[in-house]
Amino acid sequence: MALWEQCVNQLKAELTSAEFNTWILPLQARVEGSLLRLLAPNRFVLDWTRTHYSERLRELSQRYSQGRISEIQFEIGGFERRASDRALEGQMRGGEADLAARRAAANLNADFCFETFVEGKSNQLARAASIQIARNPGATYNPLFIYGGVGLGKTHLMHAVGNLILASQPQARVIYLHSERFVAEMIKALQHNRIKEFKKTYRSVNALLIDDVQFFAGKERSQEEFFHTFNALLESRQQIVLSSDRFPREVPGVEERLRSRFGWGLTVAIDPPDLETSVAILHSKASLLKVNLPEDVAFFIASHIRSNIRELEGALRRLVANAHFTGRPITLDFTKQALRDVLVAQDRQVSIENIQRTVAEYYKLRPSDLLSAKRSRVLARPRQIAMALAKELTRHSLPEIGQAFGGRDHTTVLHATRKIKSLRDTDPGIAEDYHNLLRLLTL
Ligand SMILES: Nc1ncnc2c1ncn2[C@@H]1O[C@H](COP(=O)(O)OP(=O)(O)OP(=O)(O)O)[C@@H](O)[C@H]1O
């Protein structure tokens, strides 16, 4: 077997299919004496492969050439593709080639799938609904509207829907787009007199996934266009999935007829994860990075970064990079050291005072009302909500929180957190207020 083919076979066994398809398959190789030239199609692939795989490629090429290859060189470019390259690629990818191309055309990221999405109480309903519509697009809930705070997994779920539809329906056409990109594409189409094609493209898909629809705010022409696309797709029973940082009715700057349509199908929320889910997500991300994360470290990070999974992931990456550079093992002490700045920023972000101010503003009260001894209902409920938020978002103990709320007893705080927890399950108004406040505090 040729040298490069052997290297590729070996890497296919070692890497995930996403890594392999993205980084190794696009490379072409030529041997010139003791030099192995690797040609990457663009700078992105070149930089990444050089940083991450050159060591391994050097070892493998030396091994399979019996020591003949002593140097590897990365360049941008591509030779005329030879029949042998195409055969190799075909053999490697099989049906995946087609899927990868359709995925790329749909703007979907293969890593965001249901397998890598960790289920927890905070996202259970959103995940279940997404799986359901991915299995029966257009047939059940339409549109599916996913809302929740920043970095909680909305985009991940939308991609997972698209990926599952593509994988299970070889003929399906899917498009994922951020709403800003929809606007930009429309403007481009208008400028180039291609609006007809634009309409046709979006109205002929089997699933249209539009992320962060709040960015349609104030863009009337785009809203108009999207409105018609929306109607056309719904009429022909094609699936629409939308996401936003807020409830459909509350998306500002969007005309009423569109806003009301957002809520026609099923609306599901994603909340910030509970501690257990955060720990599970960290373990899952660590295993994707091929890192063994000690339990106490996972727990430490999760309990300090409560509100946003993107930040959780960012902290993990930073920790792993730090351990990598310094060659030190990931222990609890090392983690505290490595994440010092991140944790300070987090603590600064959500203080009890901040929570009191935000809750008071939200209910049009004064912060001092929340601290006062007055027990009227208009004050008591917001006060309990603020206490529950303080418990969820800060690391303060119950007595400390009680102290910060006008010197109340810790049992009062405990009662408040339990009360709000049960009201969130039974009273949609409270559930929505709580969700909005969480979002305001963790943006
Ligand atoms: N349940 C989960 N399991 C695993 N990873 C998750 C989960 N939820 C979120 N993530 C990860 O967190 C990161 C942020 O998620 P995502 O981009 O989907 O957030 P978002 O809600 O769309 O945020 P934004 O409002 O900024 O668009 C992603 O890397 C995603 O993979």
Q: Enter the ipTM.
A: 0.98
Q: Say yes or no: CB of residue 254 within 6 Å of ligand 1.
A: no
Q: What is the pLDDT of residues 227-258, one digit of tens each?
A: 999 999 999 999 999 999 888 888 889 999 99
Q: Say yes or no: CB of residue 289 within 6 Å of ligand 1.
A: no
Q: How far apart are CA 381 and CA 360, in angstroms?
A: 11
Per CATH, the homologous superfamily of domain 352-442 is DnaA protein, C-terminal DNA-binding domain (1.10.1750.10)
pLDDT of residue 61: 93
Among 115, 156, 313, the mutation site with the greatest number of ligand 1 atoms within 8 A of its Cβ is: 156
Q: How far is the CA of 148 from the centre of ligand 1 (A)?
A: 10
Q: Write down the domain spans for the chain.
A: 3-93, 124-270, 275-349, 352-442
Judge whether 151 is annotated as a binding position: yes
- pTM value is 0.64
Question: For atom 29 of ligand 1, which residue has the closest CA?
Answer: 310
- Report in angstroms the alpha-carbon separations of 284 from 112, 164, 421: 13, 20, 28
Judge whether 155 is annotated as a binding position: yes
Domain 124-270 has CATH 3.40.30.10: no
Alpha helices in 107-252 (DSSP H): 124-135, 154-168, 179-191, 195-203, 220-235
Q: What is the pLDDT of residues 288-312, one digit of tens each?
A: 999 999 999 999 999 888 778 999 9
CATH of domain 3-93: 3.30.300.180
Q: How far apart are CA 216 and CA 251, in angstroms?
A: 9
Q: How far is the CA of 275 from the centre of ligand 1 (A)?
A: 16
Judge whether 253 is annotated as a binding position: no
Q: Which fold has domain 275-349?
A: Helicase, Ruva Protein; domain 3 (1.10.8)
Share of the chain above pLDDT 90, in %: 55
Q: What is the pLDDT of residues 175-229, one digit of tens each?
A: 999 999 999 999 998 899 988 998 998 999 999 999 999 999 999 999 999 999 9
Q: Given the CA of residue 211, which atom of ligand 1 is nearest to it?
A: 27
Q: How far is the CA of 146 from the centre of ligand 1 (A)?
A: 12
Which residue do the tokens 């008071």 mark? 360
